[in-house]
Amino acid sequence: MPFAPPAASSRREAALIAALATFAALRVALFAAAFPFFANVDEQKHVDMVLKYARGFLPEPGRAGYEPQMGQLVGMYASPEYLAEPGEIAPPPAWRRPPAAMVGVIERSEHFLAARDNKEAEQPPAYYAVAGAWLRLGRALGLEGARLLYFVRGLGVLVAGALVWVAHRLVRDLYRDAELMRFGVPLLAAVFPQDTLFYVTPDVFSPLLGGLCFALSLRLARRPESGAAVYAAAGIALAAALLTKWSNAALGVVAAAASLYALTHASRPLGVRRFAAKLAWQWGLALVPVALWCGRSLRLYGDPTGSALKVARLGWGRKPFAAWFDHPIFTASGVWEFATGLIPTFWRGELAWHRTDLALPAIDALYTGSTLLLLLLALAGLRGREPARFLAEGLALLAVAVATATLAVLSLAFVFDATTNPTASHPYFVQGRLISGVLLPFLLVYVRGIEVAAARLPARAARSAGWLGIAALALAVSISEVVLAGPVFSSGYNAFHLP
C-alpha cells in the first residue's frame, strides 16, 4: 500500500487549509469585538456611508451631510480611548450614565456632526453597497445599535477566512513540489496582522479582491485557453477592486501585464479572433463599470474619481508638476523615511490607543528589515527560474512595485501643512492599508525570499530553516498583536461589555 495516497494527502491538505481559514476568521472576530467604536481611522465616516447605501444613497452634490442616526450612534457608543491622553481614565459609556447625562452626550454628538460633511461621500461604491446590504440583513435578523455595528464589522471575518482559501488556490498547483510555498503563504495570510479587518472601512475588501484579481490574472496568463467564465471573473474582480479603492490601480497594471504575456505567447494556438474576443470580454467587464462610475462623477462633480472634494476637505493643495521634483523622497534619507513608514503600516495597520500607535519598535524593525531583504532575495531568485514560477513571482513583484510607486507619486502631487495628514514635515503617504490589495502577491514573494535564503544552506537544513523562519515570524506577529491589544480588551466600550 502506498505510504501517502494522493486522495488522502489532498484531504489532509484541505483540512489544514480549512483549519487555517477558521483560525483566521476567529482571530479577526475576536479583535473586531475587542476594539470599541469608532476606531481612529475614520470609522465613523465609513459607518455613515454604510448607512447611506443601506437606504439607497448615490453620491450627488449637496448630499454629503451625515445621516441623522449617526449622532445617536456616536453619542451612545463612541469610545474616547482612541484619542485620550496616555493614562487618562475614560468616563463610563453613555449607556451606563444617568438618562440626562446620556441625552446630553447624544445631543452634543448630533450638533457636532450636523455642521460637517462626510469627506468619503463621493468615493467609489463597491464596499459601501455590499456593507449596506449586509447591514440590512442584520436589521432583518433583529439587530440594532452597537450589535448591528459589530455585525457590519463581521464582513472582515468573512474576508479573513476567504483570504486563506484564495492564498491556497494561488499556490496549490504552481508549487505542488514546494511545501514551503504551498503552505507558508496561506499560513502567513492567516496570521497577517493588518488591522483594517477589525473595523468598518473599504480597505477590508482590498486584500481579498486583490488576491482574486492576481490569482485569476495569473491563471489566464498561464492558461489562456480557460473558459469565458474565468475571463469574466477576472474582469469583475478587477472592476470590484477599483470601485472599492482607487489605490488598487496596481492590480490593473498586473492584469494588463498578464494579458500582454498571454497575447504574446498564446494567440496563435488559440486563434487570434477567439483570443481577442475573450480579452474583450474580460476587459469590457473590468472597465465598463469603472467608466460608467467615472462618467457619473465627472458629470456631477467635474472630477472622474470624485476625489477633488475630498482633497479640498482634507486641506491638501495641488502641487504644480514642475515642483514635484523638489520632494525629499528624491534623497536617500527621504527614501528611507518613506520605506520605514510604509512597510510597518502595511503589515500592522494604523490603529492607535490613547494617542499611541499600536506598534512595537522591535517588531516594526522586523517587518521593515525582513521585507526589504526577502523581496530582494525573491528578485534575485528569478534568475534561471522555470517559466511558470518566473511569471508568478515576476507579476507579484510588479504588483508590489507599482503599488508602492502609487503612494510615492501621491506623495509628490500635493502640498501639505502642519495640520494635515500627511504633514509638511513628513510629506509621505505611508498608509499601508491603501495598498493592501497587493497583500497576497506580497506574501508570495516574501515566502519565496525565505525559500531563497534557506536554499543557501545545506540541503538537509534548508527545509527546516525555511519552516523555522516562517514559524518564528508567525509566532512573533501573533504574540505582539496580543500584547499590543491587551489594554483594548479591558475597555468598557467594546462588544464584551454591551448591556
Q: pLDDT tens digit string along 400-430?
A: 999 999 999 999 999 998 888 899 999 999 9
**Tens-digit pLDDT profile for residues 146-185:** 999 999 999 999 999 999 999 999 999 899 999 999 999 9
The pLDDT value recorded for residue 266 is 63
The pLDDT value recorded for residue 1 is 35
Contacts of 371 (CB under 8 A, 6+ apart): 343, 346, 347, 446
Half-sphere exposure of 449 (CA within 13 A, CB side): 19
SS3 218: helix
The pLDDT value recorded for residue 70 is 95
- Based on C-alpha coordinates, what's the Rg of the chain? 23
The pLDDT value recorded for residue 8 is 67
DSSP state of 414: E
Q: How far apart are CA 221 and CA 259, in angstroms?
A: 6
The answer on pLDDT for 2 being more than 50 is no
CB 166 within 8 A of CB 241: no
SS3 129: helix
CA angle 417, 242, 200 (to 5 degrees): 70
Q: Which amino acid is present at 491?
A: S
CA-nearest of 486, 234, 193, 241 to 367 is 193
The answer on pLDDT for 492 being more than 70 is yes
**Tens-digit pLDDT profile for residues 3-58:** 445 666 788 999 999 999 999 999 999 999 999 999 999 999 999 999 999 999 99
Contacts of 467 (CB under 8 A, 6+ apart): 180, 184
SS3 144: coil
**Tens-digit pLDDT profile for residues 62-101:** 889 999 999 999 999 999 999 999 989 999 998 888 888 8
Which CA distances in Å does 70 have to 51, 62, 93, 106? 9, 18, 16, 10
The answer on pLDDT for 470 being more than 50 is yes
CA-nearest of 200, 93, 147, 50 to 495 is 147
**In the structure grid, which three cell numbers stand for residue 448, read together?**
519565496
Is the overall model pTM greater than 0.85, yes or no? Answer: yes
The answer on pLDDT for 268 being more than 70 is no
Q: b vs e for 188-217, b when ≥16 Cβ sit within 10 Å of the residue's Cβ? A: bbbbbbbbbbbbbbbbbbbbbbbbbbbbbb
The pLDDT value recorded for residue 223 is 92
Average pLDDT, whole number, for the chain? 93
The pLDDT value recorded for residue 499 is 82
Residue matched to cell numbers 496570521: 191
CA-nearest of 404, 429, 408 to 316 is 429
The answer on pLDDT for 283 being more than 90 is yes
**Tens-digit pLDDT profile for residues 430-440:** 999 999 999 99
Can you say how many angstroms the Cα of residue 249 is from the centroid of all Cα atoms in its chain?
Answer: 13
Lowest mean pLDDT among 226-230, 392-396, 415-419: 415-419
The pLDDT value recorded for residue 254 is 97
102 pLDDT tier (thresholds 50, 70, 90) = confident
The pLDDT value recorded for residue 139 is 97
The answer on pLDDT for 348 being more than 50 is yes
Q: How far apart are CA 161 and CA 154, in angstroms?
A: 11
Using CA atoms of 432, 437, 438, 439 in order, give the dihedral in degrees to the nearest 10: 70
The average pLDDT across 208-229 equals 95
The average pLDDT across 313-339 equals 93
CA-nearest of 45, 40, 33 to 82 is 40
The pLDDT value recorded for residue 389 is 96
Q: CB neighbours (10 Å) of residue 219? A: 20
